[in-house]
């Protein structure tokens, strides 16, 4: 694949959205347009498959939305990509017919896996990790994680204050899928009664109640918050735990799922700064490496320095 004379780049956001995506999209499109023809794919991989690809000619809407959460170009979840399957080849063909050989993907670890598949079909792929889950092991932070954390801390602090008024306990469920980072980060500013993640949880409703009773028996002073990672317990388990605590201990248990408030969280200042640093690094890399056709991932180290790694994700 000879990329030196190819000036077409496509940007997509894929999978679950995260705060800060719009900032990246705007800055990338604005900066790259000076040296490249920039396209966007609507609704992630699904949009590439359905040929929802268009050139960016006017940046005014992107500029207006740059500090909003969400993604102005949309996102979606799509089939797992495989180089031998027709829907993967259709994505490649839709890009190739516009002479697009470079693809920038904003998304989580699942999107990175899809990008790695496409990189084996003569596409140069760059991954910018965007996820409230902070679910990349090779980077300290993903865009959106800090915004979700800050928003959760504000919401849980408010829940904590009202729970104390009524001698109640708040059970709060956070997103994170298989990664417990957001669950723990959301209560860093408090001393919660209990934090339950996929490493320390007990299965079923009985196990949940046992964990709560044990924490109540062992902990002295605490903030009346139980933080739980998503997908560990069912609604029925929560209802049963609420009934048991009321019946046996006369303690009101309030259940709160933060849900999509986390994805739509206000974009924090640090995420805006990181988005600027990452977009600058990507633009600079494309200008200085016009013929490099390998897959890259943009990472943030422990000192928040931006690095572009030439490597496979997994």
Catalytic residue among 17, 133, 223, 271: 133
Q: CA-to-CA distance for 271 and 45, rounded, in angstroms?
A: 24
Contact status, residue 245 vs residue 215, Cβ threshold 8 Å: no
Kindly state the DSSP code that residue 3 receives in the 8-state scheme.
-
Kindly provide the residue ranges of all beta strands, DSSP E only, lying in 209-291, ordered along the sequence.
223-229, 253-257
Q: CA-to-CA distance for 160 and 110, rounded, in angstroms?
A: 34
133 is catalytic: yes
Find residue 40's DSSP bridge partners.
11, 54
Nearest partner of 122 among 3, 222, 219, 10, judged by Cα: 3
Contact status, residue 299 vs residue 306, Cβ threshold 8 Å: yes
Q: How many C-beta neighbours within 10 Å does residue 217 have?
A: 7
Contact status, residue 244 vs residue 112, Cβ threshold 8 Å: no
Give catalytic residue positions: 133
């Amino acid at each position: 694949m000879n990329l030196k004379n190819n000036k077409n780049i496509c940007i997509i956001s894929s999978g679950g959205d995260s705060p800060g995506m719009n900032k990246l999209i705007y800055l990338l499109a604005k900066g790259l347009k000076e040296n490249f023809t920039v396209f966007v794919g609507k609704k992630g991989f699904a949009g590439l498959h359905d040929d929802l690809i268009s050139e960016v000619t006017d940046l005014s809407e992107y500029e207006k939305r740059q500090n909003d959460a969400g993604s102005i170009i949309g996102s979606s979840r799509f089939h797992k990509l495989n180089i031998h399957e027709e829907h993967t080849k259709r994505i490649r063909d839709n890009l190739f017919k516009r002479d697009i050989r470079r693809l920038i993907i904003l998304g989580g670890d699942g999107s990175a896996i899809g990008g790695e598949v496409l990189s084996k079909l003569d596409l140069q792929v760059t991954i910018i990790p965007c996820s409230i889950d902070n679910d990349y092991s090779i980077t300290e932070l993903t865009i959106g994680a800090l915004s979700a954390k800050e928003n959760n801390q504000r919401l849980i602090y408010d829940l904590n204050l009202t729970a104390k008024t009524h001698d109640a306990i708040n059970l709060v469920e956070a997103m994170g899928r298989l990664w417990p980072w957001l669950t723990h980060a959301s209560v860093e500013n408090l001393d919660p009664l209990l934090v339950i993640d996929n490493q320390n949880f007990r299965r079923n409703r009985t196990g949940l109640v046992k964990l709560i009773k044990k924490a109540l028996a062992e902990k002295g002073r605490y903030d009346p918050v139980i933080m739980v990672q998503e997908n560990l317990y069912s609604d029925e388990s929560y209802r049963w735990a609420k009934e048991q605590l009321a019946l046996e201990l006369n303690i009101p248990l309030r259940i709160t799922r933060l849900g999509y408030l986390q994805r739509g969280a206000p974009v924090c200042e640090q995420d805006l700064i990181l988005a600027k640093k990452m977009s600058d690094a990507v633009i600079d890399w494309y200008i200085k490496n016009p013929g490099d056709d390998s897959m890259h991932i943009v990472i943030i180290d422990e000192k928040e320095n931006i690095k572009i790694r030439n490597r496979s994700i997994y």
